[in-house]
Amino acid sequence: MTQLSLKSTGLDIVRGYERATYQVVAPLFCPWHNRWGEPVYRLSQAFEANPFTIHASSTSGSPVIVDAEGRFFGFGNPTPEAGCLFRYDGQGTLEIDVPAGQTLYVGEAGYGDDSWRAYNSCVLAGHGPAPLEEFPAHWADMEYCTWVEQKRLCQGAAPQSILNDAFLDQYIKRISELGLPPGKLTIDHGWQSGDEDYGDWLPCGQKFRDFPGTLARVADQGFTPGLWMAPVWIHPRSALARKYPELLGPQIAPSNEDSPITGPTWNYLKACPQAEDALREVFARFHAWGVRKFKFDMIYARKDEMRKLHAMIYRAVKSVSPEIEVEIHQPDIFFAAYGDAIRTNDVLCNTHYRWRELTADHLEVCEKSAPGRIINLDHIGGNDPAVTSEDFLAHLDFYRRVPGYPVVSLLGGNLDSRCYEELRELCHEHVRAPNAVSRFYQTPQARV
């Protein structure tokens, strides 16, 4: 059992303790503790949790805790995951189980963000990946995503049901009418053949008679084609599952009340070489057709299981082309190697949710838990197409002067002219001076 001091970082390192005990002040900021639609990252009541194996139904960040006075505690290795435990008694005592082979970084001086930055630098130096410095230009471009506009126009039907060539043509026309700059354009859920296509990922011939031609038309109008996908979902009646039933993993239920999926109809893919080969073929097909960005979605499960799936997906994409942008929705520093852009995740801007708190939390969790990665500022105005102009503008204000690229989805509805004026200003400012990468890390230096 050893406890080492890193004077240059203000952190101590704990290795090999069965249990370390600290006095802390609540609330405790726990970026890994998550629940869809709720700001639950600050805890004052007693809890016990393994941040590596917790279920993630929403944005789940790095395995660290920061108390109300800036004391910092963070696990420093991606493995072992089993046996890592935060245990808080609700009365000021935090116990941390550090199994053999794991490392705990501790900053008891109350430096807060400085300690977290130093921790990020140490973890990146030891485990990677290197922070992004040079990358394809389109990775930092602003983005348009069709999803919320699909929800606005579906008139009670499933949002995915109305996505087709005519919808896309009108969407692009509306972008031009609003005076918004070009960027990436991600075609969201609904382009595929149907529920049973999960695993095969074939475009719907009735909606898109020539999907490669659709993607080419998007590119010809100045946009970089992107595509939504839930790549680790597989339907038992898909051609892939019928051919290789051994690839069926655990059954999936809807992750949250806003999920476009209803009923436990799908399974997760098993993380294995055969599944990776099948995904590589899918990604190669769409890359050949012009897709340069994938928005990966609906990977909500135990984090240790998710990390294996993310690793498999990322390897498969990058073996096709390292220039394809991969967007994921988990900002944990140990997921950073498997995503180029980290999505802040959406909120519903209405009176039923504490969306202002949640938006601020998502931004903080993503910037601090995904150092050196691009931040995707998901859905300006949130994911509710009935958002009021006042709430749209309030949500947009959160995205000013923060790292990340803006994502625009809603192009109509209840919004007044102020919304479009402010949206144009934000988007054109990003084009003039992009600031897409989280720089929440530092080269450890001696504290004076």
What pLDDT, on a 0 to 100 scale, did the predictor assign at position 413?
A: 87
The structure tokens listed for 191 are 């382009």
Residue pair 379/355 in contact by the 8 Å Cβ criterion: no
State the Cα–Cα distance between residues 77 and 56, nearest whole angstrom: 19
pLDDT of amino acid 357:
98
- The mean pLDDT of 223-252, rounded to a whole number, is 94
> Is residue 83 very low, low, confident or very high in pLDDT (cuts 50, 70, 90)?
very high
Higher pLDDT pick, 148 / 261: 148
- What per-residue confidence (pLDDT) applies to 414? 86
Residues 285 and 297: their CA atoms lie apart, in Å, by 19
Which domains, from first to last, does the chain contain? 2-127 (2.60.40), 137-432 (3.20.20.70)
> What is the pLDDT at residue 57?
86
Mean confidence (pLDDT) of the chain: 93
pLDDT at 4: 46
Mean pLDDT, residues 8-32 taken together: 90
pTM here?
Answer: 0.94
| 156 φ/ψ sector (left φ>0, alpha ψ -120 to 50, else beta) | left
Which letter, b or e, does each residue of 184-205 get, where b requires 16 or more Cβ atoms within 10 Å of its Cβ?
Answer: bbbbbbbbbbeebbbbbbbbbe
Kindly state the percentage of the chain with pLDDT values over 70: 94
pLDDT at 149 over 90: yes
Q: What is the rounded end-to-end Cα distance, in angstroms, of the chain?
A: 30
Question: Are 294 and 317 contacting, i.e. CB atoms less than 8 angstroms apart?
Answer: yes
The structure tokens 């339907």 sit at 235
262 exposed, middle or buried (CB, 10 Å; 0-12, 13-18, 19+)? exposed
* CB distance 346 to 310 below 8 Å: no
Instruction: Identify the pLDDT of residue 2.
Output: 43
Residue 126 contacts residue 76 (beta carbons within 8 Å): yes
pLDDT 10s digits, 303-354: 999 999 999 999 999 999 999 999 999 999 999 899 999 999 889 999 999 9
- Diameter over CA atoms, the chain: 67
Of 286, 304, 303, which Cα lies nearest the Cα of 295? 286
- Distance of alpha carbon 342 from alpha carbon 404, whole angstroms: 9
Mean pLDDT of 283-305: 95
> What tokens appear for 75 in the block?
């696990």
SS (H, E, C) the chain: CEEEEECCCCEEEEECCCCEEEECCCCEECCCCCECCECCCEECCCEEECCCCCECCCCCCCCEEECCCCCEEEECCCCCCCCCEEEECCCCEEEEECCCCCEEEEECCCCCHHHHHHHHHHHHHHHCCCCCCCCCHHHHCCEEECHHHHHHHCCCCCHHHHCCHHHHHHHHHHHHHCCCCCCEEEECCCCECCHHHCCCCCECCCCCCCHHHHHHHHHHCCCEEEEEECCCEECCCCHHHHHCHHHEEEEECCCCCCCCCCCCCEEEECCCHHHHHHHHHHHHHHHHCCCCEEEECCCCCEHHHHHHHHHHHHHHHHHHCCCCEEEECCCCHHHHHHCCEEECCCCCCCCCCCHHHHHHHHHHHHHHHCCCCEEEECCCCCCCCCCCHHHHHHHHHHCCCCCCEEEECCCCCCCCHHHHHHHHHHHHHHHHCCCCECCCCCCCCCCC
Cis peptide before 322 (omega within 30 of 0): no
* Residues 344, 371: Cα–Cα separation, whole Å: 13
Whether residue 211 contacts residue 191, with contact meaning beta carbons closer than 8 Å, is answered with: yes
Q: Compute and round to an integer the Cα radius of gyration of the chain.
A: 22
